[in-house]
Structure 1
């Protein structure tokens, strides 16, 4: 079993409070987060942005694995994950993630590419974690 950790610290009320996030690797090291970074355009990060980064990274690595199973290696892949945070009657919910993939994979057919991308979307651990609609737009460059 592999375990990774991160910490979040917070002081103050929801709108004027301040927090910071630190990850085990210290890629984030007391990185600021708060209400304005989440619901406006303030400085710092926010949980949805971090989920988007985690999902984009996980999916793209999973796709590399699926391509390898098909005997293919990507020259380049770029995935943008867009997380949708919606207000509901009982608060907020992450309702959807849209993955936009652009890839250059020498020797890949459109069919093999689409198959690998769909299997990566379904099989990446972050996709499995999320209780949200996950959509994928995949473009294979020649």
Structure 2
């Protein structure tokens, strides 16, 4: 998926998360968007394979655990969960593409595609990317105008 689409998925996640917390809207939104795109930092690190270890269940759980271990505020569990969920949402979107994701790495390198429709949506599919982005804009509007 496109970077903007992953960021849009973070907006969607934030709009849902805000129903369950009284934390700052801007803080939750920035946190969810950041973690929804963080898996793709691998494209900027020459030694990492794109859609490698950063696109796994281990990475999603490790990231949440790291936030939990480093955080010191009462809201740390919320933000740790949000980080893991944002990464998992990233994995779901990438599992819709023909390349899938190595979800179970390092235990297996087999790439996983979302059941039924997985592998049928190219990451550069303009219509799909625009649909996700439009839904996210709608969700953002609901955050801004309650």
TM over 0.5: no
TM-score normalised by structure 2 residue count: 0.31
**The structure with more radius of gyration:** 1
TM-score normalised by structure 1 residue count: 0.31
Structure number with higher relative contact order (C-alpha < 8 Å, ≥ 6 residues apart): 2
- Structure with greater helix percent: 2
